Chains A and B, each alone.
Chain A
Amino acid sequence: MTPTRPRVLVAMSGGVDSSVAAALAVEAGWDVTGVHLKLAETPAHLQVQGKGCCTLADADDARRVAGTLGIPFYVWDMAEEFRRAVVDDFADEYAGGRTPNPCARCNERVKVVGLLARARTLGFDALATGHYARVEGGRLYRAADRAKDQSYVLYMLGPAELDHLRLPLGRMTKPEVRATAVRLGLRTAAKPESFDVCFVPDGDTAGWLERRLGRRPGQVVDTDGQVLGSHQGAYRYTVGQRRGLGIATATPRYVLRVEPAAARVVVGERAELAIRTVALERVSATDGRGPRPGHARVRLRAHGQEAGCQVVPLGNRVRLDLDEPVAAVAPGQAAVLYDGDLVLGGGTVAATVPAASSPGG
């Protein structure tokens, strides 16, 4: 019997990365089908000039690339799932005083895990995406291009997903990806990078949140409770933020905590941002076996520095005792654990303990 070609669904956003991922999947000899997810609910005619993800132009670009590659192509409307799982969650998290990672959330609920389940239902052997990370031997690793590495937003994948996920760009650098796009004549070769949150195309997250949540004025206070100023909504502030506090002090002040119930933003000195202990919730491990105690490296934001830590499992939570203090860790962010290039897993930051106070509180 001749071996059958694996049937692979490729998520095509219309950007250069997923375009090249699709092209490499075809070159690999797989039986490839492209799908573009319509995630925005904005009427199409308002999106034509839009930036960010999921515009009409992006769907057209993805379709043209699929046509160039000669693969079947579909557009699936997952706007409702996206709104419920990602957009509403984004607003809810900020309203609760946390700093969400919508890309991780989207991968968890829509783009990777959700789409993979649907692909499997439709008889596909695997899902391929344009993420920069590697899947080898059923484990998740950082991308070869460390500057582009996106393993941080994929940490929640387990063996059930990783066994059926293909990341063709994992060993490539961005210039190589662009060169491949040029070589194959893909029209997305020179497309600019997308930044920001795709459903906040103008990048004004505070304005977006204000339209959605309304003004919720309150006070800016120091750690002693002394009022230093006022604000229009605690959701406008993130731990570590310095700009936009609207207060005049001798030394710079930083957001230490956001207390939405009291409509209070607590600020303090830079040194007070230092965190020694982090508690994680919604913890997962890429090997599916749960977090194990021991030493690891942890990344606490997408483009932040990494720190060594001791992993201390506590039931369905995990405590991380950091080797050295890390500044400005916001509840709601993803914390991703690594052993070298191997992604061990991670969770969502539930609480932090400042280096200045005693741990365990």
Chain B
Amino acid sequence: MPYLDYAASAPLRAEALAAMLPLLQRPTANPSSQHGPGRAARVAVETAREQVAALVGAAPGEVVFTSGGTEADNLAVKGAVLARPEGARQLVCSAVEHHAVLDAAAWAEADAGARVALAPVDPAGRVDLKRLAGLLEPGRTALVAVMAANNEVGTGQPAAAAAGLAHAAGAVLLCDAVQAAGLPGVDVGRDGIDLLALAAHKLGGPTGVGALVVRTGASLRPLLHGGGQERGLRSGTLPAAAIAGFGAAAAAALAEREASGFGAALGALRDRLLAGLRALEPGLAVNGDPADPGRSTGAPPWGSPDPSAAGLPGLLSVRFPGRRAEDLLLLLDRQGVACSAGSACASGAVTPSHVLLAMGRDPAEARETLRFSLGHASTEADVDAAVAAVRGALEVLAPQEAAG
């Protein structure tokens, strides 16, 4: 079945499954236990910690395992706010952050005396650094949140430049790298990132596990209290099997990034998809930055040479003018092709995405957007099947046009 929804969840990699199975089959796998099976689980966890750290240029001791990207973002935002005295709890977030960041910030504003300022983005979805700088309150800003690359439109963000601004104001930078950790990749040292959120399942690991990279010097209050695991920042028995799967997926993603040609091949698949869709629908509009250096083969570098600003090579967000994304999704699903619409609410309904609205699209346009995302196991056949399915969907919808 053609699966083009990696940004929602990537298929589990064989390496990840192989790393998990022995741990699931053992009699016990509490890595804190003082016996043979416990030590074996601990070895698996620490190996994974090294693999995850290597993916993002961190030291293994900086990796705090969490239940996923959402918890990592929550720990970063709430933990940083609570570590500051009241009066120094201002937060500056890009307007296109994931809800895990924005809603945690909204909580901090409602319940923890924080104030939140949102930095606007340009029509491509890239945060406006000048406006962001103007929102900083030196000495009072606790945290700046600028993601590595946006999950809905794929636009890369100038995280390194944002980190510089944050540091000058005495704040830490949270970079949500849930989507970008594999490709184009992030490097916490190079980019000056203090807090980095990761999720295993976007890399081809299991769901239910992620990490917050907490660099030395960033002070956080824990949200979960108990056994004091993860340097006291995140209590709870470590899920050794899931963490091992995370580590294996991180290692595989790093190997892909370092293998010459993988990123370009993914970008080429994305371009093939875009060309195929354009041929079907001349009015197709691409959301995001079509000239993003991380996304399109042979495209000229966009703007500054900031390597942290590259976007997602495998993500394509497109608008079909006059078509409801809900309708297209149903018709693609009927043909066995999986992709997604802008964003979904708790009930599962497609609602206008805050990212597209921040980029200046109106709600009707936001409801016309489909997101295709490719990854480690994507093939030309997947892309061609998706294009064929879109052709079929547009054919079903065509009589409506003739009648109307």
On whether the two chains bind one another, the answer is yes
Is the CB–CB distance between A123 and B331 below 8 Å?
yes
Bound-state Cα–Cα, A240 to B166, Å: 68
Is A27 among interface residues, defined by CB-CB distance under 8 A? no
Is the CB–CB distance between B346 and A121 below 8 Å?
no
A121-B400, A123-B396 known; A33 vs B330 contact (CB < 8 Å):
yes
Is the CB–CB distance between A122 and B333 below 8 Å?
no
Is the CB–CB distance between B396 and A63 below 8 Å?
no
In the bound complex, residues from chain B placing their C-beta under 8 Å from that of A72 are 330, 333-334
Residue of A nearest to B351 (CB): A77
Chain A 1-38: CB-based contact to B (< 8 A → 1; otherwise 0) = 00000000000000000000000000000000100101
Is the CB–CB distance between B345 and A38 below 8 Å?
yes
Is A195 among interface residues, defined by CB-CB distance under 8 A? no
Q: Contact partner of B349 among A33, A75, A122, A123, CB < 8 A?
A: A75
> For chain A residues 91-107, which have a beta carbon within 8 Å of chain B?
none
In the bound complex, residues from chain B placing their C-beta under 8 Å from that of A59 are 347-349
Is the CB–CB distance between B348 and A75 below 8 Å?
yes
In the bound complex, residues from chain A placing their C-beta under 8 Å from that of B327 are 118, 121-122
In the bound complex, residues from chain B placing their C-beta under 8 Å from that of A74 are 326, 329-330, 348
Bound-state Cα–Cα, A121 to B402, Å: 12
Is A190 among interface residues, defined by CB-CB distance under 8 A? no
Is B168 among interface residues, defined by CB-CB distance under 8 A? no
In the bound complex, residues from chain B placing their C-beta under 8 Å from that of A44 are 345-347
Bound-state Cα–Cα, A36 to B330, Å: 13
Task: Tell me the dominant secondary structure on chain A's binding face.
Answer: mixed
User: Distance in Å from the Cβ of A182 to the closest Cβ of chain B?
Assistant: 26
User: Distance in Å from the Cβ of A160 to the closest Cβ of chain B?
Assistant: 13
Is the CB–CB distance between B347 and A56 below 8 Å?
yes
A118-B327, A121-B397, A122-B396 known; A77 vs B334 contact (CB < 8 Å):
no
A74-B326, A122-B396, A123-B396 known; A36 vs B347 contact (CB < 8 Å):
yes
Q: Contact partner of A38 among B331, B349, B397, CB < 8 A?
A: B349
Is B350 among interface residues, defined by CB-CB distance under 8 A? yes
> For chain A residues 42-56, which have a beta carbon within 8 Å of chain B?
44-45, 56
Residue of B nearest to A78 (CB): B349
In the bound complex, residues from chain B placing their C-beta under 8 Å from that of A36 are 347-348
User: Distance in Å from the Cβ of B131 to the closest Cβ of chain A?
Assistant: 28
Is the CB–CB distance between B345 and A76 below 8 Å?
no
Chain B 340-375: CB-based contact to A (< 8 A → 1; otherwise 0) = 000001111111000000000000000000000000
Bound-state Cα–Cα, A72 to B333, Å: 9
In the bound complex, residues from chain A placing their C-beta under 8 Å from that of B326 are 74, 76-77
Task: Tell me the dominant secondary structure on chain B's binding face.
Answer: helix
Chain B 206-222: CB-based contact to A (< 8 A → 1; otherwise 0) = 00000000000000000
Q: Contact partner of B347 among A38, A118, A123, CB < 8 A?
A: A38
Is the CB–CB distance between B350 and A77 below 8 Å?
yes
Q: Contact partner of B348 among A33, A45, A63, CB < 8 A?
A: A63
Bound-state Cα–Cα, A36 to B345, Å: 13
Residue of B nearest to A121 (CB): B400
Residue of A nearest to B348 (CB): A75
Bound-state Cα–Cα, A36 to B329, Å: 15
User: Distance in Å from the Cβ of B398 to the closest Cβ of chain A?
Assistant: 10
Residue of A nearest to B345 (CB): A44
Residue of B nearest to A73 (CB): B348
User: Distance in Å from the Cβ of A46 to the closest Cβ of chain B?
Assistant: 11
Is the CB–CB distance between B346 and A45 below 8 Å?
yes
Bound-state Cα–Cα, A229 to B176, Å: 64
Residue of B nearest to A45 (CB): B346
In the bound complex, residues from chain A placing their C-beta under 8 Å from that of B397 are 121-122
In the bound complex, residues from chain A placing their C-beta under 8 Å from that of B396 are 121-123
In the bound complex, residues from chain A placing their C-beta under 8 Å from that of B334 are 33, 72
User: Distance in Å from the Cβ of A38 to the closest Cβ of chain B?
Assistant: 4
> For chain B residues 212-263, which have a beta carbon within 8 Å of chain A?
none
Bound-state Cα–Cα, A72 to B14, Å: 28
Chain B 376-404: CB-based contact to A (< 8 A → 1; otherwise 0) = 00000000000000000000110110000
Is the CB–CB distance between A75 and B347 below 8 Å?
yes
In the bound complex, residues from chain B placing their C-beta under 8 Å from that of A76 are 326, 349-350
> For chain A residues 112-126, which have a beta carbon within 8 Å of chain B?
118, 121-123
User: Distance in Å from the Cβ of B361 to the closest Cβ of chain A?
Assistant: 16
Bound-state Cα–Cα, A77 to B348, Å: 9
User: Distance in Å from the Cβ of A358 to the closest Cβ of chain B?
Assistant: 49
Chain B 293-311: CB-based contact to A (< 8 A → 1; otherwise 0) = 0000000000000000000
In the bound complex, residues from chain B placing their C-beta under 8 Å from that of A45 are 346
In the bound complex, residues from chain B placing their C-beta under 8 Å from that of A123 are 331, 396
Bound-state Cα–Cα, A45 to B345, Å: 10
Bound-state Cα–Cα, A47 to B350, Å: 17
Bound-state Cα–Cα, A118 to B347, Å: 20
In the bound complex, residues from chain B placing their C-beta under 8 Å from that of A122 are 327, 330-331, 396-397
In the bound complex, residues from chain A placing their C-beta under 8 Å from that of B350 are 76-77
User: Distance in Å from the Cβ of B331 to the closest Cβ of chain A?
Assistant: 6
> For chain B residues 44-80, which have a beta carbon within 8 Å of chain A?
none
Bound-state Cα–Cα, A325 to B3, Å: 66
Residue of A nearest to B399 (CB): A121
Which among B326, B327, B347, B400 has the greatest number of chain A C-beta atoms within 10 A?
B347
Chain A 54-66: CB-based contact to B (< 8 A → 1; otherwise 0) = 0010010001000
Bound-state Cα–Cα, A45 to B348, Å: 13
> For chain A residues 269-293, which have a beta carbon within 8 Å of chain B?
none
Q: 14 interchain pairs (CB within 8 A)?
A: A36-B347, A36-B348, A38-B347, A44-B346, A44-B347, A56-B346, A63-B348, A74-B326, A76-B349, A77-B350, A77-B351, A121-B400, A122-B331, A123-B331
Contacts A45-B346, A75-B347, A76-B350 supplied; 11 other A-B pairs, CB < 8 Å: A36-B347, A36-B348, A38-B349, A44-B347, A56-B346, A59-B347, A63-B348, A72-B333, A77-B345, A122-B327, A122-B397
Q: Which 8 A/B pairs are nearest by Cβ-Cβ distance?
A: A44-B346, A77-B349, A75-B348, A59-B347, A38-B349, A75-B349, A123-B396, A121-B400
